[in-house]
Structure 1
């Protein structure tokens, strides 16, 4: 019987003996990376242009509103009204940020690396969604904080500062609602294609194509159809929730147009919750399908 001629060479490979950070660390890393990606941090200068242009616009609006209040003592817009007025910028921010968060990974084919242990399949879309919601909340909430600081130095007494803080809390919660609704829809649409241009166009189309439906329902002779018309579009749905829950903060001008919700205010809130939950469920189902390929 011939003797074996093979030789085992020790070339210095060693087993990994360091800490195994696990699922929580991977989820947190995906989340933090997603927030940075939404604002173009850690990427090329070109990728920073649009996100920071939007940030600059909302900050300039907040500075102008604060300056007018400090100089003339006039409240140009409340914290909740600020979120309403900036909602159109939120739409375009989502149309750019959501494809960057998920479409790039679909196109480059790196998802099998993410779906390897210890990261479950559901953690990837949830981390991306949470990152986008946080980014939108920061986009709307940080300027509100600036407005609050300006107001706190112009009002008299601790009681008025507390009233401002209560109003700020309502505005921040309202900003969170805008972020949750827009992020869940935007990320779901973006997850359907690996092409960022198609994803961005699809996100804008979803929001814009529902607006004429609201207009059509609002002119029908049926009062119930008029009161329920806001349910047909994500933007008017969020505004309806705001009118029902934060009416005093959103309607400060007695001559301003106020959507008539009738007895359907609670339905708007339930519809918003159902919309977010449905989008999240579809997003999770989408990534179970992607991972199975």
Structure 2
């Protein structure tokens, strides 16, 4: 009886001989893909509907503010006030974008493929966080540029244009503060589940259900409790920092009084730093656990 023999078939597989770009390029690819994902780019038309609906709304509001201001000859809303006014839309944008960035990967089980290569476990969540921060900053910053262009074209002389620039810069920084705080909280919540609906609901709950707590604390008989009430919600926390650092931009009339923070402005800033640091630390711990599986 003859011995069984094996046959090797050449089906064309070849080893990769191209340039290996390394960790920096992997991080950059994750970041760029994350920014595109937040706006639904490179995905189906259905995935683009909500992000671009939000973008369209904020751009239209900015255009309307610019048109009205040019007609009456004075500003009806500062750049910082625009960020405050659009914050509720940012909440829903985060609730949709954050699960798209991380929950899909958790559910589909592709993370072991990411971590099978020499990719540090911290790079994945940090790239996703930076992508979400960028997307939120663009969401609030691009309409402010629309307002700036309208103000610059109707300004009387270069001095007025320069004054407009000086008003714009704090507004862009304030938009960055909104982006960092909301992205850190939203991405942490989204990373806890692979189900996008649960992640979106959890994000909305964290932002909206903390608002009544602020309301309860703000009516207590203690003035100190009233002034520290804003620490209980991410939204009022950011607004408190804005009132402390750019009061002239946010409080332009008695109707736009803003939260009463008293002399606790530094406490609001420290609380924001602690909140973001805690969210990032928990996010890194979460993915350290995922990578260890």
Is the TM-score greater than 0.5? yes
| Range of TM-score over shorter length | over 0.9
CA contact (8 A) 2:54 2:93 kept: yes
CA contact (8 A) 2:230 2:236 kept: yes
Q: Tell me, which stretches of 5 or more residues in structure 2 are unaligned?
A: none
How many residues get paired? 292
Quote how far apart the aligned CAs of 1:255 are: 4.3
C-alpha distance in structure 2 between counterparts of 1:10 and 1:93, whole Å: 50
Secondary structure (helix, strand or coil) at the match of 2:209 reads helix
Provide Cα deviations, 1:186-241, integer angstroms capped at 9, x if missing partner. 00000000000000000011111111111111111111101100000000000000
Q: For the structure 1 residues 46 and 15, does the alpha-carbon distance in structure 2 shift closer, same or farther, using more than 3 Å as the test? A: closer
Quote how far apart the aligned CAs of 1:261 are: 1.1
C-alpha distance in structure 2 between counterparts of 1:89 and 1:201, whole Å: 15
Quote how far apart the aligned CAs of 1:270 are: 0.9
Quote how far apart the aligned CAs of 1:15 are: 3.7
1:187 equivalent to 2:187? Answer: yes
Greater mean alpha carbon deviation, residues 158-167 or residues 192-201: 158-167
Q: Which runs of at least 4 in structure 1 moved beyond 6 Å after TM superposition? A: 5-11
Provide Cα deviations, 1:112-148, integer angstroms capped at 9, x if missing partner. 1111223111000000000000000000000001110
In the alignment, what sits opposite 1:279? 279
CA contact (8 A) 2:152 2:161 kept: yes
Quote how far apart the aligned CAs of 1:160 are: 1.6
CA contact (8 A) 2:239 2:258 kept: no
Provide Cα deviations, 1:34-82, integer angstroms capped at 9, x if missing partner. 1111111111111111111100100000000111122221212010000
Give the TM-score normalised by structure 2.
0.95
In the alignment, what sits opposite 1:226? 226
C-alpha distance in structure 2 between counterparts of 1:104 and 1:8, whole Å: 39
CA contact (8 A) 2:185 2:276 kept: yes
In the alignment, what sits opposite 1:38? 38
In the alignment, what sits opposite 1:264? 264
In the alignment, what sits opposite 1:172? 172
Greater mean alpha carbon deviation, residues 255-264 or residues 32-41: 255-264
Greater mean alpha carbon deviation, residues 16-25 or residues 124-133: 16-25
1:105 equivalent to 2:105? Answer: yes
Q: Tell me, which stretches of 5 or more residues in structure 1 are unaligned?
A: none
In the alignment, what sits opposite 1:24? 24
Quote how far apart the aligned CAs of 1:167 are: 1.0
C-alpha distance in structure 1 between counterparts of 2:155 and 2:232, whole Å: 40
Q: For the structure 1 residues 40 and 244, does the alpha-carbon distance in structure 2 shift closer, same or farther, using more than 3 Å as the test? A: same
Quote how far apart the aligned CAs of 1:6 are: 6.9
In the alignment, what sits opposite 1:67? 67
Give the TM-score normalised by structure 1.
0.95
Quote how far apart the aligned CAs of 1:166 are: 1.2
Greater mean alpha carbon deviation, residues 116-125 or residues 176-185: 116-125
Secondary structure (helix, strand or coil) at the match of 2:254 reads coil
Quote how far apart the aligned CAs of 1:257 are: 2.7
Greater mean alpha carbon deviation, residues 64-73 or residues 91-100: 64-73
